[in-house]
Amino acid sequence: MSESQASLLLRKQLKDLSRNPVDGFSAGLVDDSNVFEWNVTIIGPPDTLYEGGYFNAIMSFPNNYPNSPPSVRNSVWKNRPAVTVYPDGRVCISILHAPGDDPNGYELASERWSPVHTVETILLSIISMLSSPNDESPANIDAAKEWRETKEEFKRKVSRIVRRSQEVL
């Protein structure tokens, strides 16, 4: 049986990233037999609250990738202070939302998923999210409230998460 277009594309993106690594993250397969599940490590960007942290996540790709977006789930952020991460750890950025018009009217269709996105553009968007979280449309309402109202407490919690992520290494 021949490989699907999705698996061929994912193998190509994996090969490209291994040949030309990008600062700020690393990516590889969770299991060599499944190209649809990736383990990624995002390094907290300099000059942010997350600086120096190592955040592991799983990228799960649908069988019809790149027509539909992958999901990105981070267990470290589960129930933790991250404005643009749902309490269950799923990362919430526009480019990971299904293509087309937003049923809630918050995002333009041009901000949502497009088949031109790659693993690299997704991970760079997540890194950007860490640099400037969008508290206007939060995935985690409690974290957004804490970010706005008790920023010092929010910073302390993030600092603890960063330290814990470094200890795991």
What's the domain count of the chain?
A: 1
Burial label, 85 (beta-carbon count in 10 A; 0-12, 13-18, 19+): buried
Domain range enclosing 159: 5-168
Please report, in angstroms and rounded to a whole number, the separation of the first and last CA atoms in the chain.
40
pLDDT of 78-110, one tens digit each?
A: 545 566 777 788 888 889 989 988 887 778 888
pLDDT of 23-33, one tens digit each?
A: 999 999 999 99
Please give the positions annotated as active site: 92
Q: What is the pLDDT of residue 75?
A: 66
100: CATH: 3.10.110.10
